[in-house]
Structure 1
Amino acid sequence: MRAIWKGSIVFGLVNVPVKVYSATEKHDVDMHQVHDKDGGRIRYERRCEVCEEIVEYADIDRSFDDGEHRVILTKDDFDALPAGESDDIDVLQFVPTDQIDPIMLERSYFLEPTSKTPKAYLLLRQTLEDTDRTAIVKITLRTRTRLAILRTRGKLLMLQTLRWADEIREVDFKGVKSRAKISDKELEMSAQLVEAYSGDFKPEEFRDDYQDELKKLIDAKIESGETLDLEEAFPDDDEDEDTGGDVVDLMEALRQSVDRSRSSKKKSRSKKSDSSKNSKKSTKRKAS
């Protein structure tokens, strides 16, 4: 991994030297736009609508237009803004972790200690963990000052940038104010459904099916070219799925959902058991 930022966490007189690394990466398949007629690559040009010339990126300024006023901002204007560059992650306060609303979280970064004796890093991480606190910080990334949090993840410190308060929309949907009466029986059945679907979250058990199928399609096209039969290569698995018809009654919908979930779990356990038996048989054959 390549560090995107280097500096120090600063709170009080304590200084913690760190490097910042992106914690996530996309697994989407990279593709280009092409002309459907001849497969030619589509290119985009930055063309001025006044002189109709193609403009180099270095010669482009930005403008603000509110319908009445138009203001052009140059590179010098942006350089004059106070954000500038800073090598510090300034700790503003420590708050209870449960006060951080997940809707505010944006990008995640890992922090690596760069000091030869990373005692301050380890002390800060352990203190946050023991006190169940999260640090609210400010950091300048790519000339923009961002609000962020420092929290622990295993043995590491993590930085997560936050949205500003005025970037969170206020909504007031009428439906949530409905006075529809919910019976005790409906609540009980709903709780049973939640219990039927309960389990420990293991992210590695979930796959991006769309990207997996896209990669299969690309591989199949490489082998077969345009002669690939899409219906044969990618049969519709939903055709055999029993939808059970339209269920209007809420209680009946809950009941059917619980039954279906329990049945699905039984099938899953049965498949795992069969798979385990087959694996043991195969092991015995190899041993003999």
Structure 2
Amino acid sequence: MPRSIWKGAISFGLVTIPIKLYSATEEKDISFRQVHPTDGGRIKYKRVCEKCGKEIPYAEIAKGYELPDGRLVILTSEDFDDLPLSTTKAVEVVQFVAEEEVDPTYFAKTYFLQADGPGIKPYVLLRDALTKTGKSAVVKVALRSRESLALIRSKDDVLLMHTMLWPDELRDGSFAAPPSEVTVSDAEVTMAQSFIDALSGDFEPEEYHDSYREALEALVQSKAEGVPLEAEPEVQEQAEVVDLVAALRASVEAAKKRREAAAESKAV
């Protein structure tokens, strides 16, 4: 069982729900060390004070905030622990909303909420109430030295909490929009819809895998065994698309063949 990263309570009106917080995700990637290619020695870094030149142990390093006038304010771990902030140990429910109202761009990280001690019954109460109303709870919580908005929702038998970015942390993406004078025809939109229909289906994430990580693992294994890695066939560069309808029609046919092939492989 994983170790909880935070303990606190959800304030649900006058009801208090003691909880433990667990990370719901883990990134799986190949970890590399920085080495000297000549002899394989590891590259190490020292934390050296620029003023006295001494190497400083990590436990003795504090955080400093530079003011506009150049003065430096030093904050210790005790300063952060003593912040006059109610959300450091409490998850404050501020609103209930329909989940689809929240733009997924806001989501940062997902956590499991587990009832702690006497919190089991009120936990079940909140979970079932959210399920039956189809609502999610917008909350404020302080985690990892910062306060965040978050969304608590029920999924199966568990409450999940998605931490969220603040509105001023989302960048304006209007610069990425194509020029307004660029338009497409009804026929092009219809063919695009046909392509979407050809690839539509239920989302089954277990059918997808990280091809890049698999390729890296194969490369590392081949290097370790001294066996050359078999080269992948070169992908031919595609010519510039002039007729969108014709290109989409060909894409639809290719998509149908891929789905038929996938269905046949499942049936075997």
Query: Is TM-score (shorter-chain normalized) higher than 0.5?
Result: yes
CA distance, structure 1, for counterparts of residue 20 and residue 176 of structure 2: 47
Measured after TM superposition, the shift of residue 218 of structure 1 is 2.7
With over 3 angstroms needed to count, the CA separation of the structure-2 counterparts of 1:84 and 1:234, relative to structure 1, is farther
Report % sequence identity.
Answer: 38
Structure 1: how far apart are the matches of 2:176 and 2:89? 47
Per-residue deviation, residues 88-110 of structure 1 (Å, max 9, x unmatched) = 21111112222211011111111
Determine the C-alpha separation between the residues in 1 that align with 2:40 and 2:140.
47
Q: Distance in 2 between matches of 1:252 and 1:68?
A: 63
Contact 1:47 1:55 in 2 (8 A): yes
- Aligned equivalents of 1:174, 1:3: Cα separation in 2: 40
Q: Which has the larger radius of gyration?
A: 1
**Counterpart residue type for residue 42 of structure 1:** I
Question: 1:255/1:138 Cα in 2 relative to 1: closer, same or farther (>3 Å)?
Answer: same
Shift of 1:191: 0.5
Counterpart in the other structure of 2:231: 235
| Deviation of the 1:85 alpha carbon | 7.5
Measure how far apart 1:265 and its partner are.
Answer: 2.3
Residues paired across the two proteins, number = 266
Q: 1:248 aligns with which of 242, 245, 254?
A: 242
| 1:194-248 deviations in Å (ceiling 9; x for gaps) | 11111111111110111122222333333x2xx331xxx23214x2x56663322
Is this contact kept in 1: 2:80–2:145, CA < 8 A? no
Contact 1:86 1:139 in 2 (8 A): yes
Superposition pairs for residues 1-288 of structure 1, below 5 Å?
1-65=2-66, 68-75=69-76, 77-79=79-81, 81-83=83-85, 86-115=88-117, 118-173=120-175, 175-222=177-224, 224=225, 227-229=226-228, 233-237=229-233, 239=234, 245-273=239-267, 276=268
Q: By how many angstroms is 1:84 displaced?
A: 7.8
Deviations along 1:96-150, one digit per CA (max 9) or x if unpaired, are 2222110111111111123457222112111111111111112222443322111
User: Structure 1 residues 85 and 201, CA, compared in 2 at 3 Å: closer, same or farther?
Assistant: closer
Q: Distance in 2 between matches of 1:160 and 1:9?
A: 14
Q: Does the CA-based 8 Å contact 1:137-1:149 persist in structure 2?
A: yes
In structure 2, relative to structure 1, the CA distance for the partners of 1:133 and 1:180 (3 Å cut) is same
Structure 1 spans left out of the alignment, 5+ residues? 277-288
Shift of 1:18: 1.7
User: Contact (CA 8 Å) 1:4, 1:21: kept in 2 or not?
Assistant: yes
Report the AA paired with residue 149 of structure 1.
Answer: L
Contact 1:83/1:144 (<8 A) preserved = no
Q: Which digits, 9 at most, give the CA deviation of each residue in 1:136-165, with x for residues without a partner? A: 112222443322111111111011111111
Aligned residues of 1:84 and 1:143 also touching (Cα < 8 A):
no
